[in-house]
Amino acid sequence: MVGMRGAYGYNDNGNEGGVVVGGGEAEAEIAAMAVLHKVAAPPAQSTASKLKARVKETFFPDDPFRGFKGKPLTTKWVMAVQYLFPILDWVPSYSFSLFKSDLDHFGNILVMYRYTPTGISYAKLASLPPIIGLYSSFVPPMVYAVLGSSRDLAVGPVSIASLIMGSMLRQAVSPAAEPLLFLQLAFTSTFFAGLVQASLGILRLGFIIDFLSKATLVGFMAGAAIIVSLQQLKALLGIVHFTTEMGLVPVMASVIHHTKEWSWQTILMAVCFLVLLLTARHVSMKWPKLFWVSACAPLACVIVSTLLVFLFKAQKHGISIIGQLKCGLNRPSWDKLLFDPQYLGLTVKTGLVTGIISLTEGVAVGRTFASLKDYQVDGNKEMMAIGLMNIVGSCTSCYVTTGAFSRSAVNHNAGCKTAMSNVIMALTVMVTLLFLMPLFVYTPNVVLGAIIIAAVIGLIDLPAVYNIWKMDKMDFLVCLCAFAGVIFISVQQGLAIAVGISIFRVLLQITRPKMMIQGNIKGTDIYRNLHQYKDAQRVPGFLILTVEAPINFANTNYLNERIKRWIEEESSAGTKQSELHFVILDLSAVPAIDTSGISFLIDLKKSTEKHGLELILVNPTGEVMEKIQRANDAHGHFKSDSLYLTTGEAVASLSTFSKMTAP
């Protein structure tokens, strides 16, 4: 039976069906076989052409230079400069009405001054001097306004990056014992973070951040939010001697062991202002038009608490305050970058982790608001902008910054239209740095802790966790591992565990691809999964299988064992009427195959022929068909009589041939 028939109902000698038959029924069957469609090989391409196409799709999927085609050379140069500096694209058309949108909205003014308390708070979260938080809210927004492509992204320090940087650097250096060294390490880590971010953008390697899945980020953010909140117990309870560790157990142990240091005045102030901040947040969430309530709440709390401390001399009654902050703009810090081999590994690792996390957050926020306003954000360009922003920041007394969702949301709701809003906010911080720093001398640390808790509590996304649980239990496990790792081990190790599980899941899908048996839906030529479609029925004499993954060296052994087991089961369960004759392998969902995969198909064909069976391949895709054709050119394993375009045509042709050759 093997090799006697062609894919069009002709044998190798040109005789129809391979036998001479008579009668109208046979003629009708032969006529039906004559309409079979041929499996076409893809057009021939040179290796260079295929490599060029693969590189383009890997590194330039968005084809950023498509607008350059057909333009004069002068125009191309102008477009290139605008591509590198997006500010040149929108500044020429910037109008007074746009400026009013970026400045005049009440919410815009609020978000500008909101930078002051949040900047100070996040710097303390990173165990850095409070003034560094304000410095980081001045230079980076100016740089991003020149290089960034998002109209809505508001940049500055963020809680997660601050937490990670502080926790990783504290493992080697105490900020209290060696403040200058700690500051040097923070600036150096920021430099490496920017270098990593800019390199990913320049080399078009943005797909690397895709390894941080949604489930990983949801679990990580929730765990980090709890860790951040727990760290604020030092300020909220007035504890002086607090643990430097980040895990849930050591933090709670420190809280319990230092109950004698608790200050009822501090606790009372903490509860009052925390309730006020959370209430403002709830109001803004329930009534979006009142977004300004949440935006102005941090500044209002800072002003009120500072006045209370000043009027009642609360610093003499156990209320810890910020203290004196120097006026003046960012001081140069390139001389503080420390590349000592003793700390180089630590700063590189800290920069890598904080860079990837902050980059993921910034790009995601930019894309979110771009989709709301129906414009495009170039992810790789954003990486370059954020990276260069942090490199410049590391030389101007700033630590890691990125785009923050809460600030960008206020920007968006306030009606900001361009990146000029970042410039205006930076100028507002500049005014604060130059003239208003003495006003923060009496600001209590407890209010800064309450501001941090109110800010990060939104990172706990319970609806997203529930949706992940309903959609995919494996993703929920990844989410849970990220959360538990951050809570009970450490921030960076929890993230590493979650990423490791996600990668393991991907590898598992590659090495154990999905395979299924297909059956025919009665009355049609449609073939579907027997398990999914109850109307699908097995076709006697046929074992129809489909593979839903690339076939490569990682999964050929599994595929070989699984198919042979199915053949054995079918052969042992079959009767004389349903005796197995054909094994059909549907390759429609196989996008790629390597040399190990081709060897697997050849070995499978030889194995089935030894058992009196015939292997049929259905609808191989372009790359798969190209490699099958090369195998045929070398050894002729897969001739036209074993290749069909659809499962329906294969079954119809093979069934007809079986009837015609039956004794």
Same-domain pairing of 558 and 491: no
Residue 3 confidence (pLDDT)? 42
Confidence band, pLDDT 50/70/90 cuts, at residue 111:
low
Residue by residue, DSSP assigns 336-380 as G----HHHHHHHHHHHHHHHHHHHHHHHHHHHHHHHHTT----HH
How does strand 536-537 pair with strand 515-521? antiparallel
* β partners of residue 536: 521
- Residue at 65 is within a domain: no
Residue by residue, DSSP assigns 396-456 as TT----EE-HHHHHHHHHHT--STHHHHHHHHHHHHIIIIIGGGGTT-BHHHHHHHHHHHH
Residue with tokens 């690339």: 550
DSSP letter at 3? T
Q: Domain total for the chain?
A: 2
pLDDT in tens, 330-362: 889 999 999 999 999 999 999 999 999 888 888
Considering only CA atoms, which of 614, 617, 612 is closest in space to residue 547?
617
CA distance 250 to 627: 59
CA distance 98 to 84: 23
User: Is residue 617 within a helix (H) or strand (E), and if so which, with residue range?
Assistant: strand 614-618
Same-domain pairing of 108 and 187: yes
The residue ranking higher by pLDDT, 381 or 656, is 381
Same-domain pairing of 317 and 359: yes
How does strand 614-618 pair with strand 536-537? unpaired
Same-domain pairing of 184 and 292: yes
pLDDT in tens, 197-246: 999 988 887 777 777 788 888 888 888 888 888 888 888 888 877 876 77
The type of residue at 281 is: R
Judged by average pLDDT, the poorest of 9-13, 263-267, 487-491 is: 9-13
CA 245 to chain centre: 28
Residue 69 confidence (pLDDT)? 76
The residue ranking higher by pLDDT, 295 or 183, is 183
pLDDT in tens, 253-292: 888 888 888 888 888 888 999 999 899 888 888 887 777 7
pTM of the model: 0.76
- Residue at 167 is within a domain: yes
Residue 533 Rama label (left phi>0; alpha psi -120 to 50; beta)? beta
The residue ranking higher by pLDDT, 292 or 160, is 160
Confidence band, pLDDT 50/70/90 cuts, at residue 465:
very high
- Residue at 61 is within a domain: no
Q: What percent of the chain has pLDDT over 90?
A: 24
The domain in which residue 36 lies consists of 6-41+513-661
Residue 20 confidence (pLDDT)? 37
Same-domain pairing of 387 and 528: no
- Residue at 69 is within a domain: no
Contact 155, 168 (CB under 8 A): no
Same-domain pairing of 499 and 517: no
Same-domain pairing of 353 and 487: yes
Contact 82, 89 (CB under 8 A): yes
Q: Give, in degrees to the nearest 5, the angle at Cα 496 between 162 and 389.
A: 40
- Residue at 588 is within a domain: yes
CA distance 166 to 527: 58
Same-domain pairing of 518 and 497: no
Same-domain pairing of 133 and 222: yes
**398: which residues sit within 8 A by CB, 6+ positions away?**
132, 135, 136, 138, 139, 140, 190, 330, 333, 390, 392
Residue 293 confidence (pLDDT)? 79
Same-domain pairing of 535 and 480: no
- Residue at 78 is within a domain: no
Judged by average pLDDT, the poorest of 86-90, 273-277, 318-322 is: 86-90
Same-domain pairing of 31 and 123: no
pLDDT in tens, 585-616: 999 999 999 999 999 999 999 999 898 899 99
- Residue at 626 is within a domain: yes
User: Is residue 194 within a helix (H) or strand (E), and if so which, with residue range?
Assistant: helix 179-202
Confidence band, pLDDT 50/70/90 cuts, at residue 523:
confident
CATH classification at residue 523: 3.30.750.24
Judged by average pLDDT, the poorest of 6-15, 113-122, 299-308 is: 6-15
Please report, for residues 62, 79, 652, the alpha-carbon distance to residue 67 in angstroms, rounded to integers and kept in the order given: 11, 9, 50
- 18: pLDDT strictly greater than 90: no
The type of residue at 137 is: S
CA distance 458 to 441: 29
- 451: pLDDT strictly greater than 60: yes
Residue 21 confidence (pLDDT)? 39
**Of the ranges 427-431, 456-460, 542-546, the best mean pLDDT one:** 542-546
Same-domain pairing of 413 and 334: yes
- Residue at 343 is within a domain: yes
Confidence band, pLDDT 50/70/90 cuts, at residue 431:
confident
**394: which residues sit within 8 A by CB, 6+ positions away?**
187, 188, 190, 191, 194, 333, 334, 337
User: What average pLDDT does this structure show over 411-423?
Assistant: 71
Q: At what angle do helices 405-414 and 291-312 cross, to 10 degrees?
A: 110
Contact 116, 429 (CB under 8 A): yes
